[in-house]
Amino acid sequence: MKNMTEKEKMEKIREVLEKNKALTHAITILHWDLETEAPKDSVERISKTLGYLTGENYSMIINDEFKNLVYSINVEELDEVDKKIIKELKKEYFEKLEKIPKEDYMKYSELTVVSTKKWEEAKNKDDFDIFKTYLSEVIEYNKKFIKYRGYEENPYNTLLDDYEPEVTVKELDEFFNNIKNELSPFIKKIVEKKKSDKETEDKKKLSEMTFDITKQKEMSLYALNLIKFDFNKGILKESEHPFTTNVNNKDVRITTHYYEHDLLSSVYSTVHEGGHALYEQHIDDKISDTILGTGVSMGIHESQSRIYENMFGRNKEFLKFIFPKIDEMFGLSKSGIDFESFYKLTNEVQTSFIRTDADELTYPIHILIRYELEKEIFSNLDEKTDVDKLAEKWADKYEEYLGIRPKKYKEGILQDVHWSDGSFGYFPSYALGSAYAAQIYDAINQKINIDRELKKGDFSQINEILKEGIHKYGKMKTPKELIENITGKSFDSKHYINYLKEKFSEVYGIE
């Protein structure tokens, strides 16, 4: 190593990372298979395989020889991409992963595979007892990992940083307080506004309709083609909980879920995942197969999924464009639902139990609830979390913030997959992503007329602006740098609050 040039060191590092990427590829495909097509009885075998592969992946990077190589290189002699690769390696592996013992890491990997399947079973049977032991184990492992890794100011900050680098409890407290103070009274005003007889009747009509699953699948493909999802580099399948998986920018896979009596759920979950996928498909080829070749944070990722799902997908001009196709396929007009009714139903505000079905306006309150629960869970690393009480606290907070109390576990603590696979710290990125999206939307609208483009169903210019402003960079820029890059300003939640108030004042005719 002493006689190696910096170029030779970097070539050696890239060689190791190439092998690491190949193993990661296999792990990713196995996870994908597990969630989409693997037989039920294969879960135990696959979880062991994943545990082994994860252990091999760990050993390939976490060893003294490789660490010494990484830390011996003079970054000043490297180009910008290689500098960033070294920085990312140090942060993700040697400042995070290395601190977790390999045995714990492998056991945790196996646990989360089984835990996710137990969550799915518990949700389907509405039986929290099936899952709660696994949830408890996953929580305690995460507390142990925080102790291994260390934290600044608040233990929860360590988990938050995994999904949104540099964001802290202090910043999120301020963000969610703004959401609570500004939006709660506005939501109350809208929810209390009496619906007209026609609005009530239209909603009843839509809920009583049956939407052929085969046609829904066709509609999902149509929507993805509209936003220019590249099917040569991606695929759409079904799963219990819609998600996006990426291997590289040439292999990005998404799923959705179809309900016979809910057309909007599959359409918007497909467009949501499509937004995630476009981000990954647009990453620059130069970095795609490196550790920089993915989205920089979940907040930025969610900004892309939610800008497509909500700000483009529920936009009045876009709905004018797409309504004739929906009407042709599902016969809404024949059932007495015209465009204006459809627009209002698509943007209806109502308090509901299920986060993924929540409207744009109440959605951040669902995230606020999860944020407060997670913050409490990890405020004390030495005290075991009582998961039965956690289920009760979930229900209490829904009653406090939205005035409704879930009577079923699948409407409460069992509704999300995130805790089953240990994704603590992820939820706040959904609300941050929505807030980022509003600011990005305003910036795009200053460059082109968004309504005019959506009226034509044309995403060409929109996609190009997002690709050049955010997508192509992968992890080359930080979230804060990307927001400034595309908007010219630092992040400000007022864009989000103003967007929601203006939009729903118009939809509901509120002065």
Asked if residues 112 and 138 have their Cβ atoms less than 8 Å apart, the reply is yes
- Residue 473 and residue 182: Cα distance in Å, rounded? 34
Contact 335, 209 (CB under 8 A): yes
Q: Is 348 left (phi over 0), alpha (psi -120 to 50) or beta?
A: beta
Spatial CA neighbour of 254 closest among 214, 307, 305, 293 = 305
State the number of CA atoms in the 13 A half-sphere of 326 facing the CB: 23
| The pair of three-digit structure tokens given for residue 413, joined into one six-digit string | 């603590």
**How big is the chain by its Cα radius of gyration, in Å?**
23
- Whether 218 contacts 329, CB under 8 Å: yes
Question: 335-348 burial string, b = 16+ CB within 10 Å, else e?
Answer: eebebebbbbbbbb
Structure-token pair, residue 420: 């089953």
What are the start-end ranges of the E strands in 417-503? none
Strand order in the sheet with 244-248: 234-238, 251-256, 244-248
Supply φ then ψ for residue 244, to 5 degrees: -125, 135
In sequence order, which residues have a C-beta less than 8 Å from that of residue 40 and are 6 or more positions away? none
The reply to whether 302 sits in an annotated binding site is: yes
273 is catalytic: yes
Residue 276 counted as an annotated binding residue: yes
**Which of 367, 362, 363, 335 has its CA nearest to residue 263?**
335
| Distant-in-sequence, close-in-space partners of 10: CB < 8 Å, separation ≥ 6 | 73, 78, 82
CA atoms within 13 Å, Cβ hemisphere of 264: 22
Helix (H) or strand (E) segment spanning residue 356: none
Instruction: Please name which of 139, 140, 124, 116 lies closest in space to residue 409, comparing C-alpha atoms.
Output: 124
- Name the catalytic one among 98, 273, 374, 453: 273
CB 306: neighbour CB atoms within 10 A? 27
Distance (Å, whole) CA 399 – CA 423: 25
Burial 468-481 (b: 16+ CB within 10 A, else e): ebbbbbbbbbebbe
Is residue 252 within 8 A of residue 281, CB to CB? The reply is yes
Q: Which residues participate in the annotated binding site for Zn(2+)?
A: 272, 276, 302
Q: Which residues participate in the annotated binding site?
A: 272, 276, 302
Residues carrying an active site annotation: 273
